[in-house]
Amino acid sequence: MEEENKKKSSKVLLIVISIITVIVIGIVIFIVAGGDELFTKNNEKEDTSSSKVIDEEDEKDSKSSKNKDDEEDEKDSKSSKNKDDEEDEEDSKSSKNKDDEEDEEDSKSSKNKDDEEDEEDSKSNTNKDDSKNSSKSNSSKITSKEFAIDGVSYKLGVNYSELEKNGWEINLEGESNDKIKAKTKDYNSWELRNSKYDKDFVTVYFRNNSDKEANVKECQICEIRISNYTNDLQFKFELPGGIKFGSTQEEVKKAYGEPTVGDDEGMSYYLDDINLYLGFDKDGKINYINYYLN
């Protein structure tokens, strides 16, 4: 029994030795056949793979760092750009506002200057027009041909009979030349008197507007002359615009405008169909009136 066990042990040992021998021989053959190179390659491959992994990590770190740097640079660039843009925009706005304010101020100044010139021209034109209209309006007072004696209104060209019925008469006694030819002015003067006034009178001239010869009492009064050198005229005589004996040169100009000709002694207004002459005393007041149709 013991022998059988020994045999079995020897057999097993032999098998183990054989297996080990085969393994050793296989390793030797593997080494001889290039196993070392393969191992080296595997190591290199493993080193390469490891290096590649390291490179990938480095590249990733580099990319990450680069991206971070790029982001920071981009952020700084954007921030700087935005800041520069804001400053440029602010400078541009400031410059624009300043230019706009200057342009607006220049525009206002120019506009105000133009408005002032226009207003001045308008006022000047208005004054000229007013003066022209005033002169026209004032002259129309004279061309109205109106006059008043003791508050009763008449017009140059009035028939003698109109004054006669108010007490004003001419004396024909001893006059042989009491006829006036047709369409003719009589250059003979006549004294028109009123019984209420013992010394004062109105000097008148007549015109015959009819187609046949007529007596002076049938004709029209075309001219009136009155003097008040002594300032004691008994009746009241008034021209258009309230001008009367004692009115000043300033009042006459205000009523009628500037005369056609005039000086300190007198003023003349020569109009289309009527004329007016006013004489003044040393105080510049009216003391003589000549109002007549052409």
Query: Digits of tens for pLDDT over the chain (294 positions)?
Result: 566 666 777 777 788 788 888 888 878 777 766 555 544 444 544 444 444 444 555 555 555 555 555 556 555 555 555 555 566 666 555 555 566 666 666 656 555 566 666 666 555 454 444 444 444 447 789 999 999 999 999 999 999 999 999 999 998 877 667 899 999 999 999 999 999 998 999 999 999 999 999 999 999 999 999 999 999 999 999 999 999 999 999 999 999 999 999 999 999 999 989 999 999 999 999 999 999 999
- Strands (E) across the chain are located at 146-149, 152-155, 168-169, 179-180, 184-185, 190-194, 201-208, 214-215, 220-227, 237-238, 261-262, 266-270, 274-280, 286-293
Closest CA to 274 of 105, 122, 156, 107: 156
Amino acid, res. 208: N
Please tell me the predicted confidence (pLDDT) of residue 26. 77
**Where are the domains positioned within the chain?**
35-143, 146-293
Phi/psi for 216 (5° steps) reads -55, -35
DSSP 96-146: HHHHHHHHHHHHHHHHHHHHHHHHHHHHHHHHHHHHHHHHHHHHHHHHT-E
168 within 8 A of 147, measured Cβ to Cβ? no
0.75 exceeded by the pTM? no
Please tell me the predicted confidence (pLDDT) of residue 253. 95
CA–CA gap between residue 171 and residue 132 (Å, rounded): 45
| Residue 10 CB burial class (10 angstroms; 0-12, 13-18, ≥19) | exposed
Amino acid, res. 134: S
Give every CB contact of residue 270 below 8 A, 6+ residues apart in sequence.
Answer: 260, 261
Map residue 244 onto helix, strand or coil.
strand
Please tell me the predicted confidence (pLDDT) of residue 54. 45
Please tell me the predicted confidence (pLDDT) of residue 172. 84
Closest CA to 204 of 189, 186, 219, 218: 189
CA–CA gap between residue 255 and residue 174 (Å, rounded): 42
Please tell me the predicted confidence (pLDDT) of residue 44. 47
Please tell me the predicted confidence (pLDDT) of residue 140. 84
Closest CA to 255 of 290, 286, 230: 286
Please tell me the predicted confidence (pLDDT) of residue 29. 79
Residue 168: DSSP 8-state: E
